[in-house]
Amino acid sequence: MAEDLDFDAVEQLLDSAEKAADKDRERGRGERRDRGEDRDRDRDRDRDRDRDRERYDDNIRGSAGGGRGRSRSKDREAERLQKEREREEQRRQEEEEERKRQIEDATRGDRTVMIVCLHHKADERDVY
């Protein structure tokens, strides 16, 4: 393993990586923007996304027949009921899977046969 290592090649690689990193840092200094401008742009983008989301939600509610007259508490109640239904459905599925596993274990136990006084090197042909 030690013969495979070429320390000169590794050192050259590290030097070239350092030079590339230095060039990137120098380039970044000249093109660096003001942090305040970045924050303003981010805030504007967030506000636009929020507005778009609100418009989309309003359109969905409007097309669902609820309209703007529907209060948030009713929306929350509907969401809560939906989550409760989903949890109940998942619980039912888990119970059904557990029941199926128990049935399969029981039938597997019924099919299992204990063989006594058979040589440890016996193969399948000797059993049948």
41, 48 contact by CB (below 8 A): no
Residue 97: per-residue pLDDT: 95
Q: What is the pTM of this model?
A: 0.34
Report the sign of the C-alpha dihedral through residues 89, 90, 93, 98, in that order: negative
Mean pLDDT of the chain: 79
Q: What is the pLDDT of residues 65-99, one digit of tens each?
A: 544 556 788 888 889 999 999 999 999 999 999 99
Element (H, E) at 4: none
Q: What is the pLDDT of residues 96-123, one digit of tens each?
A: 999 999 999 888 877 777 777 777 788 8
According to DSSP, residue 2 is labeled G
